[in-house]
Structure 1
Amino acid sequence: MNLAAQLWLTSSSDFYLPGYGQLRKSERWTASRMRVLYWSDGLICWQVNAYLIYRRRSGSAVSTVNTYASELSLFIRFMSDSGLRIEDVCDDVLVSFSDWLLQRKTASGSHINRLILRVISFLEWYQSILVGKRLVGSLGQGAQVTISLRMMKSQRGMARVRTQHHSMVPGSVARTVRPISSTVISVLLDTCEWAAKTHFRRSRDRCMLVLLADSGIRREELTWIRVSDVVEAASAERKLAVRTSKRKGNPYRLIPISGETLNMLLEYIDVTRAIQVRKLKRKHRDFKDEGWLFCTRTGSKMAPSSISQLFSDLREESGVTERVSAHMLRHRYITLQVMARLRLLNGRGIIGVEALTTVLSKVASLSGHSSLESMWRYVDWAYDELEIEHTDSANVADEALDVIERLIGEAENSSNVFLTESLTIVRDALSQLGMKSYELPSVVAHSLRGSASQTRDN
């Protein structure tokens, strides 16, 4: 087990929780691929594992339990690094844990708060099996972790109770998530081929990864796509209609997809998905296909959290050590879209604020962004990628010119005038191409975006 990368092992595909012999085959006791947590020193963390077993026996899906395991593994790593026991957790420890998560710069404020709430939920369960200890409670109850309950109303007017702790941070605290590399995408796609337990899962998961990379859509938007949307895209110039999340009314937007991706989706629909639907209809007479493109093995609509779990599982199975997520595929897609439009503007002089704002507006129509302010970072990322790309092409051009120069010298030594003149023409043409490859788009607008926004405000 690589304890530096993760603090859990995964059970086998036929693993069952301990239970009564006659109930062992019950769905309640199955725990296929369920995670087991360890401390950083390799000792098993029985407290968290007991909590995970409790959640599974209470009806939580294995994928949900594994999500809890991933979240709590960060807490266990922090406790290990701090030399603390779970019984030592108090308000100050949770504050330190929150600061530790902020320093990692890999989680947003809302994600950090969710991790803290998961820890509190675990501690509330854990204190039920302790004697003489009050780990979590309200002010005045003598608890080590003091929480408060706040009544909040949703957009639909429904009241709900939310747990609060002073270690929580503003949800607007941003996290640093860069685009995923093409190499990691290839590794994840290859992992889909052998990690999935069924042909349906293998085909479905691969199609989901390809579509996320080829369209830049969000997790929730992916779960909203229906079979009919793909069929209509095949007859609508390969433009897929996608409902936009995080926008009022969830309006549709059209996203061009490649013919190769569209054919892959159509084959998945006509073969793999169709076979799964027929199996479900034979097994359940009252089964009705709701038409979701990426359904679960029971035919129901997938949850966005299941997509996050897929990336977590693929990362674990493939041995990839860097962060991977569905949103990083979205970052990559948007960055490539900006790069393509910067190339088109290359050679027209300096790219100013107005031109680059137009570029971002066009990309926003594909990505579903409601504001351009959050898109300026993609210009920085695109420029970084272009610089690497142009540096690589310049190195290749230099190597090719060296070979041509040697060939010209050999042709001159052998008095082959025709070959010398031909190679000279090739050298001059290659030199011109090399000079063009060194010319980066002159992008200055992203450094002026602050003054540009002030001008618009005024």
Structure 2
Amino acid sequence: MRRSEQLVSKLTDVKLPDSVQYFSGGGNTTHRVHYQSLPVSAFVRWPSNKPCMAVNTYLLDQAHRWTGDSVITEANKLVELVRFCAHGRADRRACDFGDLSDNDVARLIDKLCTDAYVDDVSQRVRNNNTVRAIMQSCFRFLHWYQDTLYMKPFPLIGDRNSGAAITVMQKVNPHSNRSYFDHRYLPPTNTQDPKLPISNTMIEDIEAVVEELYDAESYPEPARRRFGRDYVLFDAYRVYMTARRDFMLMMMERTGLRPSELAAMSLADNLCSTKGQRPYLVLPTLKRRRLNPPPRHFHINNDLALRVRIYMRERNVWLETCQERNPELTDHDAMLLSTEPGKHGHSIANTALEKDFEKLCLRAGYKGAQSCLSMFRHRFITLEVRLHLKELGKGKTELNKQDYRIVLEKVKERTGHKSIDSLWHYIDLAYEMDGVWEPVRQAEEQMLAADQLRYELRHLRREWRHKNTSDMTPEQVIDLVVDRLGGIINKSVRGGLAR
């Protein structure tokens, strides 16, 4: 992909003065300032490194519309307009947002449609749907700009009758019932097949890559060079990255949560919830447009709770290693920690998780294939729908719309959907995956047991590759390994993998 200067910075825990309350009494006047608290915000710069005041003001003014890292996504879309105004015109001269015209919009859309990857110029960086999404953000910003900062006598953006410099028409999507801006230069939408659930084969291939990257020999020299001669930090990095990737894959497969929800998980909440007799996970629900996302409780079994606590232990080891090298680094409530240079031990953004998963997919040989974290969510929802359909005890021809609504309402509580409107197509996916209705509960238990078996065997392999057995006889080593394997196999039998 073409490399561009980074113009967006992520800000956390931003406090802004929101209102002032005055008090009078005894001849004195005092006041109290009320602040708005933003967990995440974005700061946008021009390519000249000067702050882009208009976009930054817009992002703060519209902060109530976004949750999690959505504001970062929005800022990255608007950066395309910022870059164009800085040096995208034909004369290469910078222009203000208020100077834009339909010709500029046409040139910007053409650029977004024709940007290609450096290593493969035949591949577009963005498809038509992505270009349309970027332009929707730009049109919303320009409408806001016109209402707040624009000073010229003629309209900047509006319909044909307004005589605006940029002509758009507001329409309503008949499927989602959402309004959007249409412009005559926008490319047509791509009619893409829906993303399918991730396959078992792909999961196993990615797990194999995670296991491979546990070894120091798997890292090229440039990757090790950034650790200098700090071998302790490098070893801690390898161990934590393996634990974080294991945890990421497990959570995505077992809970179907969104990547942004995984990045926003609370350490303190889950530390307590996974220790009880009925362990559960506390997951934020970020799709709902609230500043404080509502948590949902997701019940898990004891094996899964143990794996969560094992990850927490590895997380703390990595944090302590980072604190030894950066005494100013304090503990915080983020479940996932960064391993990026200069950000060791800090909280991680969901975009970093997605990039890491993309790297794992490429190393596993899935270049150019559909491979993203959302495929885990599709898999989880499809399996949940399939399970609840079977529990109704009716054949496909006996089920009516009310039966399907009951199923989707149950699934909605597990997945954090606000309504069942976006879940209906999973009914067809569930039937396609199920075929002739094999015993679903047994299949579900076997799938979970298989995942646990792979996890146990990977950990056994790691443990014995790095275990000091110099003081043990071969018979003692064999006995210990056989005992561990016996326990793992017995657990798999209880899970229904063998008879």
1:257 Cα shift?
2.6
Q: How far does the alpha carbon of each residue in 1:19-72 deviate from its partner, in whole angstroms, 9 at most, with x for none?
A: xxxxxxxxxxxxxxxxxx5xxxxxxxxxx34xx3x44xx7979xxxxxxxxxxx
Query: Which of the numbers 176, 187, 190 marks the counterpart of 2:205?
Result: 187
1:327 Cα shift?
1.2
2:261 is equivalent to residue 226 of structure 1: no
Larger radius of gyration: 1
Shift in CA distance, 344/144, structure 1 to aligned 2, threshold 3 Å: closer
Q: Which residue in 2 is equivalent to 1:138? A: 100
2:285 is equivalent to residue 244 of structure 1: yes
Q: State the Cα RMSD in Å.
A: 4.3
Does the 8 A contact of 1:242 with 1:253 survive in 2? yes
Does the residue aligned with 2:424 lie in a helix, a strand or coil?
Answer: helix
* Match runs of 1:329-340 below 5 Å: 329-340=376-387
1:150 Cα shift?
0.5
Q: How far does the alpha carbon of each residue in 1:155-205 deviate from its partner, in whole angstroms, 9 at most, with x for none?
A: xx9999999994447999987222111211121222122347622112101
Shift in CA distance, 385/142, structure 1 to aligned 2, threshold 3 Å: closer
1:235 Cα shift?
1.0
Q: Which residue in 2 is equivalent to 1:210? A: 250
Q: Which residue in 1 is equivalent to 2:241? A: 201
Does the 8 A contact of 1:139 with 1:146 survive in 2? no
**Alignment-mate amino acid for residue 268 of structure 1:** Y
Q: Which residue in 2 is equivalent to 1:34? A: none
**Alignment-mate amino acid for residue 209 of structure 2:** T
Q: Which residue in 2 is equivalent to 1:434? A: none
Distance in 2, matches of 1:173 and 1:158, equals 37
Q: Which residue in 1 is equivalent to 2:226? A: none
Give the unaligned 5+ runs of structure 2.
Answer: 11-72, 110-138, 151-155, 158-165, 167-180, 220-237, 440-499
Q: Which residue in 2 is equivalent to 1:320? A: 366
Distance in 1, matches of 2:423 and 2:76, equals 27
Shift in CA distance, 210/134, structure 1 to aligned 2, threshold 3 Å: same
Q: Select the structure that is richer in helix.
A: 1
Distance in 1, matches of 2:148 and 2:189, equals 21
Shift in CA distance, 212/159, structure 1 to aligned 2, threshold 3 Å: farther
Shift in CA distance, 187/135, structure 1 to aligned 2, threshold 3 Å: farther
Q: Which residue in 2 is equivalent to 1:362? A: 410
Shift in CA distance, 124/209, structure 1 to aligned 2, threshold 3 Å: farther
Q: How far does the alpha carbon of each residue in 1:88-115 deviate from its partner, in whole angstroms, 9 at most, with x for none?
A: xxxxxxxxxxxxxxxxxxxxxxxx9999
Give the unaligned 5+ runs of structure 1.
Answer: 1-36, 38-47, 62-111, 392-458
211-220 vs 241-250, which deviates more? 241-250
**Alignment-mate amino acid for residue 385 of structure 2:** V
Aligned length: 286
Query: Which of the numbers 322, 332, 338 marks the counterpart of 1:280?
Result: 322
Distance in 1, matches of 2:287 and 2:248, equals 21
Does the 8 A contact of 1:134 with 1:143 survive in 2? no
Shift in CA distance, 371/174, structure 1 to aligned 2, threshold 3 Å: farther
Distance in 1, matches of 2:252 and 2:262, equals 8
* Match runs of 1:44-63 below 5 Å: 48-49=2-3, 52=4, 54-55=5-6
**Alignment-mate amino acid for residue 301 of structure 1:** S
Query: Which of the numbers 293, 304, 318 marks the counterpart of 1:261?
Result: 304
Distance in 1, matches of 2:240 and 2:320, equals 12
Q: Which residue in 2 is equivalent to 1:290? A: 332
**Alignment-mate amino acid for residue 240 of structure 1:** L
Does the 8 A contact of 2:255 with 2:380 survive in 1? yes
- TM-score for both structures, normalised by structure 1: 0.53
Does the 8 A contact of 2:84 with 2:108 survive in 1? no
- TM-score for both structures, normalised by structure 2: 0.49
Distance in 1, matches of 2:190 and 2:102, equals 31
1:289 Cα shift?
0.8
Q: Which residue in 1 is equivalent to 2:37? A: none
Does the 8 A contact of 1:116 with 1:168 survive in 2? no
Shift in CA distance, 371/168, structure 1 to aligned 2, threshold 3 Å: farther
Does the 8 A contact of 1:135 with 1:145 survive in 2? no
Does the 8 A contact of 1:230 with 1:262 survive in 2? no
2:224 is equivalent to residue 176 of structure 1: no
Shift in CA distance, 135/282, structure 1 to aligned 2, threshold 3 Å: closer
Distance in 2, matches of 1:172 and 1:113, equals 21
1:318 Cα shift?
1.1
Q: Which residue in 2 is equivalent to 1:299? A: 345
1:304 Cα shift?
1.6
Distance in 2, matches of 1:158 and 1:189, equals 51
- Same amino acid, percent of matched pairs: 20
